Amino acid sequence: MPTAREIALELLPSFTANVLKKSVCSYGWYAAKIDRNPSKESMVVGMGMHAIGAACVFAKVPIAPLHYVKRDDDGWRGVFERDPVENVHVLPHYNLLYVTAREHNYTAAKMAKLDRALRDVLPRILPEDYLSPHQLWQFTIYYNLKSGGTPWLEALAHYNKLMETLRVRNVQPAKSGA
């Protein structure tokens, strides 16, 4: 069975094309794109998308799968709830993560950063036995960078700055009454 990172690399070209077009697609749609049975293997896509999300953290790019991937039935995905570490560190910031993913203007260069993170950076620094997307996320939360921070805390600070920029952009000047 391929690792979550390997599945993410399979998905990334189609995902990138859709994000750049601002097109939201289902897990089943992506399963079909990588020659998997959409009715039986959408969970495999979920693992790959969760790994892409971890790569977003390393690249300090808003977590695109939160907005650009949906369930076929439009139900809640339950992302970050099942893993206790993600539940404590990531889930409380879900609204921030979702809004920044939805409102961000992704570019081909930013999406290429995800490919580099998945293809080059993570394999170089991850322990070889980190195969699941939850292990990738835990790595983003606990890995100590040379700056003294962690990828998660640095990305979270970046996402908060993006959110503040969005707030300032959306504030309308007060109209003077006459």
pLDDT by residue (tens digit) across 8-37?
Answer: 999 999 999 999 999 999 999 999 999 999
Q: How far is CA 81 from CA 141, 161, 172, in A?
A: 15, 25, 36
Q: Establish if 148 belongs to a structural domain.
A: yes
Q: Establish if 112 belongs to a structural domain.
A: yes
- Whole domain around residue 11: which residue ranges? 4-167
Q: Establish if 174 belongs to a structural domain.
A: no
pLDDT at 102 exceeding the cut of 50: yes
pLDDT at 170 exceeding the cut of 90: no
Q: Establish if 175 belongs to a structural domain.
A: no
Q: Establish if 172 belongs to a structural domain.
A: no
Are 166 and 100 a contacting pair, CB within 8 Å? yes
Specify the higher pLDDT residue, 145 or 13: 13
Q: Establish if 79 belongs to a structural domain.
A: yes
Is the pTM higher than 0.85?
Answer: yes
CA–CA distance, 97 with 63 (Å, rounded to integer): 6
**Structural domain count of the chain:** 1
Q: What is the pLDDT of residue 178?
A: 44
Q: Establish if 123 belongs to a structural domain.
A: yes
Q: Establish if 100 belongs to a structural domain.
A: yes
> What confidence category does residue 159 fall into, taking pLDDT thresholds of 50, 70 and 90?
very high
The secondary element (H helix, E strand) that includes residue 25 is: strand 25-26
CA–CA distance, 105 with 103 (Å, rounded to integer): 7
